[in-house]
Amino acid sequence: MKVRISKDVYTDGESVRSYKRLMRDIRKGDSLKTVYVITRPLSGIYGLYEIYSFRELLQSYYQDMSIEVLGMAASKPKAREIVNELIQHAVDAGEL
């Protein structure tokens, strides 16, 4: 799996650097914490954004995918807030 973090990534207040470190630790199996990532739809269905636990993306189904991370959060509720923010910015910019 190739993960690319957007240059304009949204977070819940934690630094991007700390999330990158946490994602590295999860890949190595060294962390009990998790991080939720916001991406464009990976499943081929219509939608704007999807929320995944980073641990889920380590499953074999996702290994051949290239994934762009648009947002990162420590909990699913915070990830939902980031999705709301992404949608609001898209509406404000006239993209939706």
Dist CA 61 CA 50 (whole Å)? 16
Tens place of pLDDT per residue across the chain (96 aa): 788 888 888 999 888 888 888 888 888 878 778 889 999 998 777 888 999 998 898 899 988 998 999 999 999 999 999 999 999 999 999 987
Dist CA 32 CA 10 (whole Å)? 23
Burial 53-86 (b: 16+ CB within 10 A, else e): ebeebeeeeeeeeebebbbbbbeeebbeebbeeb
The SS3 of residue 70 is strand
8 Å CB contact between 37 and 57 = yes
Q: The whole model's pTM is what?
A: 0.85
Q: How many CB atoms lie within 10 A of CB 22?
A: 19
